């Protein structure tokens, strides 16, 4: 075989290998879309326990009644704080929109002020009620807001996961990037790393437990760790009820003030 023919053969092999690789490479955006669009029922009620844990292991426990409604154009969530006494009757509401580019609307009701306050876009990087979740974390970030890249496949416990790197399209977003481990076929974000504006690891969100309820995969226990502040927040759901017929009138400023 001549040198020229050998070079052509090598080039053909490389091109074929590149083609096969590109055909098998998962699409990061499509995977994140499947997470975003995962079905969780038309509506949901549950009791949420939020546990705040400081660097010394001291705990503060808060109980919350949570309602969700999944509409075609708007996903609505409202949270009513039940205990302890210092946060009782505080409420929070979030509306996430399916329309691309439309930001979440968020409100908080503080009984001491006796008024509902709208969360501004500048305040969405603030931490919610002393937890490790920002107001933005409590919303539903649209897949189109980031550029997504498939990195690899990796197993966490018994779950085979796609590992996806997401970088924001806007320059002033609070996170420089996130990396998400998505469970194959269940489309649950099993783990998520958040990196600060300097590219340093800031927080890690891990799903500790999930279960199929009424045919839907529901996250029951998750933990957000702030590795820089050595503080963490656990979220646990119990008494989950799906498709009970929650109406729109449950998700209003009037209901936030009224409470449960």
Give the model confidence (pLDDT) of 227-249 as tens digits: 999 999 999 999 999 999 999 99
pLDDT at 260: 78
Residue 8 lies in a domain: no
Residue 137 lies in a domain: yes
105 CB neighbour count, 10 Å cutoff: 15
pLDDT at 132: 98
Contacts of 146 (CB under 8 A, 6+ apart): 32, 166, 167, 168, 169, 178
Share of the chain above pLDDT 70, in %: 91
Least confident of 4-18, 173-187, 202-216: 4-18
Residue 190 lies in a domain: yes
Sequence-ordered strand ranges (E) for 5-55: 43-53
For residues 233 and 133, the answer to whether their CB atoms sit within 8 Å is yes
**Tally of structural domains, the chain:** 1
Pick the closest to residue 137 from 122, 149, 145, 127 (CA basis): 127
pLDDT at 10: 64
* Whole-number Å distance between alpha carbons of 40 and 133: 21
* Whole-number Å distance between alpha carbons of 107 and 255: 12
CATH number of the domain that 89 lies in?
Answer: 2.50.20.10
Residue 21 clears pLDDT 60, i.e. is over it: no
Q: What average pLDDT does range 220-227 have in this prediction?
A: 98
Q: What are phi and psi of 20, to 5 degrees?
A: -65, -40
Pick the closest to residue 142 from 162, 166, 124 (CA basis): 166
Residue 180 CA: distances (Å) to CA of 146, 166, 197: 13, 8, 18
Residue 20 lies in a domain: no
Give the model confidence (pLDDT) of 120-173 as tens digits: 999 999 999 999 999 999 999 999 999 999 999 999 999 999 999 999 999 899
Residue 6 lies in a domain: no
Q: Which DSSP category does 157 fall into? A: T
Residue 210 lies in a domain: yes
pLDDT at 72: 85
Residue 173 lies in a domain: yes
The whole domain housing 61 covers: 28-258
Residue 9 lies in a domain: no
């Amino acid at each position: 075989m001549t040198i020229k023919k050998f070079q052509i053969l090598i080039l053909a092999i490389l091109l074929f290998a590149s083609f096969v690789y590109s055909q098998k490479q998962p699409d990061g955006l499509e995977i994140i879309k499947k997470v975003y669009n995962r079905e969780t029922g038309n509506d949901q009620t549950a009791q949420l326990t939020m546990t705040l844990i400081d660097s010394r292991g001291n705990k503060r426990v808060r109980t919350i009644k949570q309602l969700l409604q999944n509409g075609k154009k708007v996903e609505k969530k409202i949270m009513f704080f039940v205990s302890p006494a210092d946060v009782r009757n505080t409420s929070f509401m979030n509306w996430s929109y399916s329309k691309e580019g439309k930001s979440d609307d968020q409100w908080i009701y503080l009984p001491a002020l006796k008024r509902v306050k709208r969360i501004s876009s500048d305040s969405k990087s603030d931490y919610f009620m002393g937890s490790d979740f920002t107001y933005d974390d409590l919303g539903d970030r649209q897949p189109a807001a980031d550029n997504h890249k498939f990195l690899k496949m990796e197993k966490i416990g018994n779950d085979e996961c796609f590992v996806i790197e997401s970088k924001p399209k806007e320059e002033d977003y609070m996170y420089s990037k996130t990396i998400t481990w998505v469970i194959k076929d269940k489309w649950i974000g099993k783990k998520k790393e958040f990196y600060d504006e300097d590219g340093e690891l800031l927080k890690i969100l891990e799903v500790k437990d999930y279960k199929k309820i009424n045919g839907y995969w529901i996250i029951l226990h998750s933990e957000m760790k702030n590795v820089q502040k050595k503080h963490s927040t656990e979220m646990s759901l119990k008494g989950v009820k799906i498709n009970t017929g929650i109406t729109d009138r449950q998700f209003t400023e009037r209901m936030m003030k009224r409470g449960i």
